[in-house]
Amino acid sequence: MSSVQPGCLWVVATPIGHRDDLSARAIVTLREVAVIAAEDTRHSRPLLVHHNIDTPLIALHDHNERDAVDAIVRRMEAGDSVALISDAGTPLISDPGFRLVRAARAAGIRCIPVPGACAAIAALSVAGLPSDRFVFEGFLPPKAAARRSRLQELGGDARTLIFYESSHRVAESLADMRDIFGATREAVLARELTKMFETVLGEPLAELAARVAADPDQQRGECVILVAGRGEEADAKLVEGRRIFAILREELPPAKAAKMAAAITGAPRKELYRSE
């Protein structure tokens, strides 16, 4: 007798690298549902073959999700059970699936999580950074100006910051973080987690940015960047920066005074300028 309830949406986490990280419950679920909605059927099929899962696959990705959702919801309303998977990790975490889950819930369809791997949480668990409070920012904007603007907005956050980044932008993003968060802010690059070339590097941002820029091997694969939140040291820099800014402001325009005060103290220039 099947353990999968009919007419439900099963949101199933898949491995982020090592194929044997697929849970026993996930394997049973994927075998017993009527159909699996996968981000990329070509990518998912080897994982399913490895675990002897021959359930039919349909594609559900960023480019077709809006159109495909209605048909999938109708299948569930007719009694079919559907599993949602992404290429790696937990669906909806920087992956497609939000529209399907939202539409299913709106239709009164039960959505059941089958938890498992998530790159952000896996990275946090081995980073050695404070984990009691953290914020997941996903992917930063690809354009340099927008990326720096977002980092400046996060500069004062006291929580550990978690980012996903593509391999061809990881060096640039680390350099921007160094410039905006400060050279001494603690950071970690977790790369290729659970895979053959897994590395977890933890250093102050200046050293980490330089190391990655100098080593092409650290600019490959799936990357998670974690940055410590602003602590007491950063608060002290801001207090001193504001003091210096106030003195310079007597003789200089605000923008130039903020730039010089930031260079002298290491305080974030944008926050100094805001204090005007």
34 located within any domain: yes
| 35 and 59 fall within a common domain | yes
| 81 and 165 fall within a common domain | no
List the strands of the sheet with 35-38, edge to edge.
57-59, 35-38, 82-85, 9-12, 111-114
How far is residue 119's CA from residue 189's CA, in Å, rounded to a whole number?
A: 12
| 226 and 245 fall within a common domain | no
How far is residue 216's CA from residue 239's CA, in Å, rounded to a whole number?
A: 39
The tally of domains found in the chain comes to 3
Residue 245 pLDDT: 87
241 located within any domain: yes
Strand runs labelled E in the chain = 9-12, 35-38, 57-59, 82-85, 111-114, 134-139, 160-165, 186-191, 199-204, 223-227
Q: Which is it for the CA torsion 119, 177, 233, 155, positive or negative?
A: negative
Dihedral angle computed from the Cα positions of residues 215, 219, 220 and 222, in that order, rounded to the nearest 10 degrees: 140
Last residue of a domain, one of 83, 102, 117: 117
DSSP state of 229: P
**Do the beta carbons of residue 221 and residue 254 sit within 8 Å?**
no
43 located within any domain: yes
| 143 and 193 fall within a common domain | yes
Read off the pLDDT of residues 80-102 as tens digits, 9 standing for 90 and up: 999 999 999 999 999 999 999 99
Read off the pLDDT of residues 106-149 as tens digits, 9 standing for 90 and up: 999 999 999 999 999 999 999 999 999 999 999 999 999 999 99
| 222 and 254 fall within a common domain | no
How far is residue 176's CA from residue 271's CA, in Å, rounded to a whole number?
A: 16
Last residue of a domain, one of 85, 117, 149: 117
Query: Which tokens hold the place of 169?
Result: 């932008």
Is the per-residue pLDDT at 17 higher than 90? yes
**Do the beta carbons of residue 233 and residue 210 sit within 8 Å?**
no
Q: What is the mean pLDDT of the chain?
A: 93
Please report how many Cα atoms fall inside a 13 Å half-sphere around the Cα of residue 62, on the Cβ side.
Answer: 4
4 located within any domain: no
Radius of gyration of the chain (CA): 23
Least confident of 47-61, 151-165, 219-233: 219-233
Bigger pLDDT: 165 vs 255: 165
| 19 and 42 fall within a common domain | yes
Question: Which structural domain range is residue 77 located in?
Answer: 9-117
| 125 and 225 fall within a common domain | yes
Residue 49 pLDDT: 97
The backbone torsions φ and ψ at residue 64, rounded to the nearest 5 degrees and listed phi first, read -125, 0
**What is the CATH number for 151?**
3.30.950.10
